Structure 1
């Protein structure tokens, strides 16, 4: 399944690569990642985790160029952090989970030309799918004044996102497949693209917590990107 998704993404980016108005961007930037903590999908700002993304994105105009299809393939960091108690007390704990994914966004955007005719403002939305490939869980703190610290690789389970079946459910395990919706906006100049993106995850993070009745425990990622056309 991984190979199939990667091949589809690369094919979409390369599609009509020789067309005059099509562009492919080398893209990277800053992520502010978080995880929803309430049944309605809200987050706590204090849990935000700084991360990054890097990869390729295409801009493929449709028709007269009012619309564009923007597929991509990105290596992107998600996750969150949390803390209970104060570091100056005898009992506190601080934890960070930082998974990394290969993510495939597929956005449809509306283009608004700017005065120089080679630049435009764009805004749009679309779905994304992602595969977890790496990451770490870090924990540190004190218990009755005794310091402790641990760092472990994230264990991913291969739960099928199209069914309710869970494979290898258990504490400390994270589902490998993530999916959700994107909102994106930015400016594209002659050879440079600047954009903002918000990823709204729809898949539960942890195996063993398959509860579709609420939006708790899902990825939320705000990204700022810079792209250079190839």
Structure 2
């Protein structure tokens, strides 16, 4: 299923760029990832985790170009961290979870032309779907000066998102493989360069297993800064 989704996404993007006014961007940049810690969606800033994203995005003008559809396919890091104390203290603890996803955003944006006519400011929003493909859980620290460190691969559940009412392959310590949410995006597109900021707001809990008051709170939140180069 993972291979089928990737082939379909790349094929759709390749087909889309054949039209004359469409632009294909090689895109990458910095992520500041986090997860919610309360039922109303609040996050703890101290848990923010630095990561990155890279991939392709297409700008598809609609009609006279006032609107554009911006689909893409990205390799992107999400996650969070928990840290107590400082690395210079006698006792210190840090745990990070950094799941890696293939993400397919589909944003609809409004274009506002700038003075040089080849540049524009854009702002918009849309949904995204993401599939977990890797990542690591890391723990490190010290207890009265004695250091410890461990690292393990993140395990994803094998739940099929087309099924309802049942989550296959769930278990303690597993993350849900599929993440769905919405994006807000804004930026500037020049002749061959694109600069943008994006906020991804996950709508599905990231822990596998049955719903409960604790793991229902954990949903992805990611701020991204991107640089795109037109191909």
TM-score, normalization by structure 2: 0.92
User: Counterpart in 2 of 1:134?
Assistant: 134
C-alpha separation in 1, matches of 2:2 and 2:134 = 14
User: Counterpart in 1 of 2:8?
Assistant: 8
The count of corresponding residues between Structure 1 and Structure 2 is: 230
With over 3 angstroms needed to count, the CA separation of the structure-2 counterparts of 1:212 and 1:203, relative to structure 1, is farther
**Range 104-113 or range 80-89, more displaced:** 80-89
Tell me if structure 2 keeps the 8 A contact 1:41–1:214. no
SS at match of 1:203: strand
RMSD over aligned Cα atoms: 2.0
Tell me if structure 2 keeps the 8 A contact 1:28–1:53. yes
C-alpha separation in 2, matches of 1:181 and 1:215 = 18
Shift of 1:213: 10
User: Counterpart in 1 of 2:172?
Assistant: 171
With over 3 angstroms needed to count, the CA separation of the structure-2 counterparts of 1:117 and 1:212, relative to structure 1, is farther
C-alpha separation in 2, matches of 1:82 and 1:144 = 19
Deviation per CA, 1:15-34, whole angstroms, max 9, x where unpaired?
34232211000000000000
Deviation per CA, 1:160-194, whole angstroms, max 9, x where unpaired?
33524222322221111111000000000001000
Structure 2: segments with no counterpart, 5+ residues: none
C-alpha separation in 2, matches of 1:139 and 1:46 = 17
Tell me if structure 2 keeps the 8 A contact 1:40–1:214. no
**Range 75-84 or range 211-220, more displaced:** 211-220
**Range 88-97 or range 77-86, more displaced:** 88-97
**Range 76-85 or range 202-211, more displaced:** 202-211
User: Counterpart in 1 of 2:195?
Assistant: 194
C-alpha separation in 2, matches of 1:140 and 1:38 = 26
C-alpha separation in 2, matches of 1:6 and 1:142 = 42
**Range 209-218 or range 183-192, more displaced:** 209-218
The answer to whether structure 1 residue 18 and structure 2 residue 23 are counterparts is no
Tell me if structure 1 keeps the 8 A contact 2:80–2:97. yes
Tell me if structure 1 keeps the 8 A contact 2:207–2:215. no
User: Counterpart in 1 of 2:64?
Assistant: 64
Tell me if structure 2 keeps the 8 A contact 1:40–1:215. no
Tell me if structure 2 keeps the 8 A contact 1:9–1:71. no
User: Counterpart in 1 of 2:227?
Assistant: 226
C-alpha separation in 2, matches of 1:156 and 1:195 = 30
Shift of 1:54: 0.3
Tell me if structure 2 keeps the 8 A contact 1:138–1:151. yes
TM-score, normalization by structure 1: 0.92
Shift of 1:206: 1.0
User: Counterpart in 2 of 1:46?
Assistant: 46
Tell me if structure 1 keeps the 8 A contact 2:93–2:141. yes
C-alpha separation in 1, matches of 2:196 and 2:30 = 11
